[in-house]
Amino acid sequence: MEGLDVSSAPARDNTITNPVIPGFHPDPSICRVGEDYYLVCSSFEYFPGVPVFHSRDLVHWTQIGNALDRPSQLRLPPETSASGGLYAPTLRHHDGRFWLIVTNVSSDGNVLFTATDPAGPWSDPIRLPGVHGIDPDLAWDEDGTCWCTLAGVSQVRIDTHTGETIGEPRRVWSGTPGAKAPEAPHLYRIGDYWYLLIAEGGTERCHGVSIARGRTLDGPFEACPDNPILTHRGTEHPIQNTGHGDLVQGPDGSWWMVFLGVRPQGGTPGWHVLGRETFLAPVTWVDDWPVVGDVAPVMAAPPWPLQEPAVVPVRDDFDGGELAHGWLSPRSRPAENYSTGERPGWLSLRARGTSMDDPEVTFLGRRQQHLSCRTRVLADAADGSGGLAVRLDEQHHYEIEATPGQVQVIARIGTLRTVVATHPTAAGPVVLRVEVSATSKVTDPRQGPDTVTLGVEDGQGVFVELAALDGRYLSTEVAGGFTGRVIGVYAAAGTVHFDWFDHEPVED
């Protein structure tokens, strides 16, 4: 289903709608090759890892693959914690090849991959045992030497063919005095300077982007007098936690920044449920320093023609042999547990774990990308139990689970797990439904960000609501971590079959 492969912001009167890649797509890194832009994001504990996007206008993005889509590339052991796994990739194009470096905090440390086509296939990993830290960046100097810069901010030369380090790492900049967590470094040669862009302040409300420059790649670096060049800390801006940026130049010579941010909803302190999303902002230059323009939900578009927005089908009928790029599973996806051929035209899930609480649950989902949305599936649980779930992690999820003759709504919030409602069903497949409704008007500072309503459809297609649950408990502010909601199907016992998966935005 191509609809699961597309993340695009619709153009309105030649404008940009931010975020340009909505939903759980944090830590964007971008590069341009000719007329094409490519972008990757962190994927944490999910498999396949590191989604790869393509655009020709910086506004409309299509997922063309996942860089790490084979077990030989991505090891996420069962003990990988939620929000573990893959952190902060950097994507670059050099010497006719694409280069991707990323940190696997749960097994292999820093690893390097290459490809001639960003859609794949990507190489098996080149391990970098001498490169310590997270958020690795790649930059090449004039003689072709590759430098890796990491959170901290430290720097070391590497041999990209063997993965060996050359010399000892050295600290090159510590960011703004008093600001915590200098991370997400990116190095660029622009004009007469090397620029070192970093995130700092932590990835919560104090997040920001700062920059320094030097005459050589390894410094010394002087800080921009106007740091941070991007932050929304201490404001009531609807987009918060702005940081982790990467710069790219447009075909007309203009500059742009992609970065992460969140959209808090509800009362105080505000809860974001979609995770950290990818936003876009214009950049101008004053006295050889970048100045980030206004960031808004709707902005003026780049000064070149926009693509037609992709038409996003709402349904996956599981008729093809391969799953679409946007589907993801926690930690692994063993072939014996996931099949579109066991019952032609159906997705068949064979249980491993016993519930959504289990790190090894058989679960296949897609990122929630809209503040309000509706998801429906046709499930046949005659040979097991399973259903439709809204997942943040193993300790924070809501689901409607089908067993022969019955469905039940289950809520897991921290250490509390409860069956909220049960409902009898007729024999045969049943339509399960989840509706997410964003809070449109805050009347109480304690009001949550949205309501998650779970139920079934009767034989005439009428929705039977079984439970309406507060969405704040499936938010980062409650659960912690770095990810966002994923909505999908699962098996808790035996084998469960799904004929179709229907997911669409709902207008507020």
Q: What are phi and psi of 372, to 5 degrees?
A: -125, 130
Q: Which sequence positions are flagged as catalytic? A: 27, 183
Residue 330 near residue 48, CB atoms below 8 Å: no
Instruction: Read off the pLDDT of residues 201-246 as tens digits, 9 standing for 90 and up.
Output: 999 999 999 999 999 999 999 999 999 999 999 999 999 999 999 9
Long-range (24+ apart) CB contacts under 8 A made by 146-151 are: 147/187, 147/217, 147/218, 148/101, 148/110, 149/185, 149/186, 149/187, 149/196, 150/110, 150/185, 151/181, 151/182, 151/183, 151/184, 151/185
Span 322-349, mean pLDDT?
96
Reply yes or no on whether the pLDDT at 1 is more than 70: no
Domains and CATH numbers, the chain: 2-300 (2.115.10.20), 315-505 (2.60.120.200)
Span 338-361, mean pLDDT?
96
Span 57-84, mean pLDDT?
97
Distance CA 38, CA 58 (A): 9
Distance CA 404, CA 215 (A): 70
Distance CA 454, CA 374 (A): 10
Question: By mean pLDDT, which of 6-15, 101-110, 144-153, 193-202 is the weakest?
Answer: 6-15
Specify the pLDDT at position 10. 46
pTM above 0.75, yes or no: yes
Residue 106 near residue 76, CB atoms below 8 Å: yes
Distance CA 490, CA 498 (A): 10
Q: Give me the percent of the chain exceeding a pLDDT of 70.
A: 97
Instruction: Read off the pLDDT of residues 85-124 as tens digits, 9 standing for 90 and up.
Output: 999 999 999 999 999 999 999 999 999 999 999 999 999 9
Question: By mean pLDDT, which of 17-26, 127-136, 297-306, 398-407 is the weakest?
Answer: 297-306
Span 180-205, mean pLDDT?
97
